[in-house]
Amino acid sequence: MAIEQKEVERLLSEVKLQRDWTFSWKTADELASVGAAAIPRLIEALGNEDGYVREVAANALGKIGDRRAVGPLIQAMQYRDDRVYEDDEDCEARVKAATALGCIADPGSVEPLIETLKYSLEKDITLSWYVIGALGMLGDRRAIPILESISDHADIDVRKSVKGALNKLTQ
């Protein structure tokens, strides 16, 4: 187990240095392969000041699928830092957290996702696409009213996301 923890630390440190999306995806897969032993450190990494680290941690936690990560992922989905990233990693960290919540499929995620959607439609449209997707993945019909209410949203990607989510929820 100590070797696994050292590997988790090494991978998270590398993420800060690499700043490359292909490396981040590969690293998330490697971290997820560690499994349950990595969860406490990955949850801690969701609060890291570096958006790249938060993004990889959220992605790995979604792949692991453990419900212990739900509360921290909700917080990570709402976390915004003031740093300027060349490739918007702060946003990427939020969308990966939303997607991870959809992957974990805990019913306790529905209301926080709905609340985040209400905010993100005005302030963070990219996040709203992923929150809508996560709501569809969850399969909880409580999401139907808000999704129907935004089905004619001005943003075409919101409309596409809503259509996909509603298809999943009404089948």
pLDDT tens-digit series, residues 35-64 = 999 999 999 999 998 888 999 999 999 999
Q: What is the mean pLDDT of residues 14-27?
A: 85
Q: How far is CA 95 from CA 51, 152, 171, in A?
A: 11, 22, 25
- Asked if residue 111 and residue 95 are part of one domain, the reply reads no
3-41: buried (b, 16+ CB within 10 Å) or exposed (e) per residue?
A: eeeebbeebbeebeeeeeeebbeebbebbbebeeebbeb
- Asked if residue 62 and residue 51 are part of one domain, the reply reads yes
- Asked if residue 117 and residue 66 are part of one domain, the reply reads no
> Looking at residue 156, which CATH number applies to its domain?
1.25.10.10
- Asked if residue 121 and residue 97 are part of one domain, the reply reads no
Domain count, the chain: 2
What distance lies between CA 5 and its chain's CA centroid?
Answer: 23
- Asked if residue 165 and residue 85 are part of one domain, the reply reads no
- Asked if residue 65 and residue 49 are part of one domain, the reply reads yes
pLDDT tens-digit series, residues 113-153 = 999 999 999 988 999 999 999 999 999 999 999 999 999 99
* In the predicted structure, residue 33 carries a pLDDT above the cut 90: yes
Comparing 113 with 18, the larger pLDDT belongs to 113
Burial environment of residue 2 by CB neighbours within 10 A (0 to 12, 13 to 18, 19 or more): exposed
What pLDDT sits at residue 85? 52
Distance, in Å, from the CA atom of 100 to the CA atom of 62, rounded to the nearest integer, reads 4
Comparing 104 with 2, the larger pLDDT belongs to 104
- Asked if residue 49 and residue 33 are part of one domain, the reply reads yes
The pTM for the full model equals: 0.91
C-alpha angle 98-132-87 in degrees, rounded to nearest 5: 55
- Asked if residue 120 and residue 93 are part of one domain, the reply reads no
C-alpha angle 142-140-148 in degrees, rounded to nearest 5: 50
